[in-house]
Structure 1
Amino acid sequence: MDETKRYSNPLIEQRADPYIHKHDDGYYYFTASVPEYDRLELRRARTIEGLRTAEPVVIWTKRQSGPMSANIWAPELHRIDGKWYMYFAAAHTTETNEGLFDHRMYVLENASDNPLEGTWTEKGQMITAWESFALDATSFEHRGKRYYVWAQQDPNIPGNSNLYLSEMENGWTLKGPQIMISTPQHDWEKIGFSVNEGAAVLKHGGRIWITFSGSATDHHYCMGLLFADEDADLLSPAAWTKLDRPVFATSEENGQYGPGHNCFTTGEGGEPLLVYHARSYKDIQGDPLYDPNRHARVKAFGWTEDGLPDFGVPEADTAAAPAAEIGSDR
């Protein structure tokens, strides 16, 4: 594994569910869940390290009541058909707060070249086969078709969430069948909660790889792996194979706990990078979701002789890079 390039760890503090988009305009764009769960932020820089000190721009703030008024989670920025789309999950508030964890997935659109500028328009809820708890959407293109991957609770399947895949009509609409590609079945996916969520897509070696996260958001949180042949019918559940073990998990030795909810990007030199969050301590007071110290982190990874991604283990915290080396030019 080539790990010659190292990054400040954490890269950005108190930013969970991190997402970095490397665009062809020469910028890296970063978004993530903020501790207050009340807004969507974007920042950009010419380098990965530059994101650490880049100025965040608030592009959307939660509503005061009703839909999209609570627990704004897991934003992702995608460029589709010449426009920017922000996918995120949001809950709703009621007088009894019954909807605080009844999330749905929503979409914003921006036609500006620079997503930190222009107008973000609400495109509404991403409609799926069921009206149930849903979150953590991502999107990818393969052979002229665009796909949407997300986590949702099927009322007929015990557990909190499974992973689903569907083809997209456009940046805010699904079409055709919606198929389940993974459900929590192994012990490491079901500690605290029975969860498959936070999917991320990677293409390499003739395969489509999808990482995901399982279990509760404490030190048990970890990453699993699915894959399909690039020539397969991706909308066939039989095309997908899931490893029976986690591929990235807590490292007591390095003081890193609950790594997960990752995405992928490439470094300035083209090297593959894993972007994820993790805490630097194990014991949490109260609900882990309200502990703010899931920090955004970045590390290089490689591939095994068998063609599997080799993420290694979460790296120990480091001193931040000197400011002169950051280059946070907006």
Structure 2
Amino acid sequence: MKGQVDMTTATDYINPLIVQRADPFIYKHTDGYYYFTASVPAYNLIEIRRAKTLAGLAHAAPRTIWRKHDSGPMSQLIWAPEIHYIDGKWFIYFAAAETTAFDKNGMFQHRMFCIECDNADPMRSEDDWIEHGQVKTPMDSFSLDATCFKANDKLYYVWAQKDPAIKGNSNIYIAEMANPWTLKTKPVMLTKPEFDWETKIFWVNEGPAVIHRNGRYFLTYSASATDENYCMGMLSIDENADLLDASQWHKAEKPVFQSDLDHDQFGPGHNSFTVAEDGQTDILVYHCRDYTEIKGDPLYDPNRHTKVQPFTWNDDGTPNFGKPVPYNYD
């Protein structure tokens, strides 16, 4: 794993790669295409774009594959879609709300949803996508940022959710799935906001992403408010351990990726992982801003841009994400 960055370097990519796309997710499929989706500034639809290279995503035409409903649980604030290919079918997870108003806990009212496409080309038509409705958990509360991964032929679901009994906005949970839209096991909480860097302005653990390397599963997540305080934490577990045993997961006490004030890179987070064109170099995908003076609610500031950069691995087998690379599109 060491030395991968010598094959693909940060200068191989223009950053930001795609402007005004927060919560980015990139998946490299067996057809050789990179598939990209993210939150759009209007929070009103889900789009996909694809290209043979990561750089090509910047110029690829987006295709809208789903639009918000006129009313009901999937009618407002469509957040953080992720596209996954599971057992020969395409699935997209996303969060949506019925209203922009806050609930009694002062939270948005998002729940998690799943749509499916069994066509080989997920971009062919909106009509190819069917709705499975809400991915329900035992708690009926604010929930979002779902992702999934397979381990030992089992499908696992990881997400962020508010527990009214725990201080803060959201914690990270994991459960095994019966199918891509139904939980099979009771959710297990893996992490809650507790360190000072997780509790700046808002107590937040959200945006989980999983990568399997060097005999371990690494789960990154984002913490604190969505301004310059936003940063990434990490959990890890041995690949042979029980993934549903919270005590087997080890939590880093410090952020693994955070703002670089010297180069005006603020609030990096809500990441995903992909692999470079060489098929070997691991790539960190995330969003970031290049200023701190945000007018109004940071959520509605559109300038969280998608960035990509290679990363390496430390001698102990853990990822070394480095610092957010400076913008280089000029």
The within-5 A match list for 1:202-217 is 202-217=211-226
Corresponding residue to 1:84 among 90, 104, 108: 90
The within-5 A match list for 1:32-181 is 32-93=38-99, 97-98=101-102, 101-118=108-125, 119-181=128-190
Corresponding residue to 1:8 among 14, 25, 40: 14
CA contact (8 A) 1:62 1:72 kept: yes
Amino acid at match of 2:36: F
Residue number in structure 2 paired with 1:241: 250
How far apart, in 1, do the equivalents of 2:186 and 2:244 lie? 8
After TM superposition, the runs of 4+ consecutive aligned structure 1 residues lying more than 4 A away are none
TM normalised by structure 2 equals 0.94
How far apart, in 2, do the equivalents of 1:255 and 1:98 lie? 32
- How many residues are paired up? 318
1:29 is paired with a residue whose SS is strand
How far apart, in 2, do the equivalents of 1:68 and 1:36 lie? 14
The within-5 A match list for 1:168-317 is 168-270=177-279, 271-317=281-327
Relative to structure 1, the CA distance from residue 41 to residue 221 in structure 2 (aligned partners, 3 Å threshold; closer, same or farther) is same
Deviation at 1:64, TM superposition (A): 1.3
CA contact (8 A) 1:177 1:235 kept: no
Structure 2: runs of 5 or more not aligned:
none
How far apart, in 1, do the equivalents of 2:71 and 2:179 lie? 28
CA contact (8 A) 2:49 2:57 kept: yes
Residue number in structure 2 paired with 1:327: none
How far apart, in 2, do the equivalents of 1:98 and 1:242 lie? 31
2:307 is paired with a residue whose SS is strand
Deviation at 1:30, TM superposition (A): 0.2
Structure 1: runs of 5 or more not aligned:
321-330
1:101 is paired with a residue whose SS is coil
Deviation at 1:98, TM superposition (A): 4.4
How far apart, in 2, do the equivalents of 1:121 and 1:315 lie? 39
CA contact (8 A) 2:24 2:286 kept: yes
Deviation at 1:101, TM superposition (A): 1.6
How far apart, in 2, do the equivalents of 1:206 and 1:306 lie? 11
CA contact (8 A) 2:147 2:157 kept: yes
Residue number in structure 1 paired with 2:36: 30
Deviation at 1:263, TM superposition (A): 0.3
1:93 is paired with a residue whose SS is coil
- The Cα RMSD (Å) is 1.2
Of all paired residues, the percent bearing the same amino acid is 54
How far apart, in 2, do the equivalents of 1:205 and 1:83 lie? 28
Amino acid at match of 2:112: M
How far apart, in 2, do the equivalents of 1:21 and 1:306 lie? 27
2:188 is paired with a residue whose SS is strand
Deviation at 1:93, TM superposition (A): 2.2
1:66 is paired with a residue whose SS is coil
1:231 is paired with a residue whose SS is coil
How far apart, in 1, do the equivalents of 2:133 and 2:251 lie? 32
CA contact (8 A) 1:71 1:101 kept: no
CA contact (8 A) 2:219 2:235 kept: yes
Amino acid at match of 1:57: R
Amino acid at match of 2:251: K
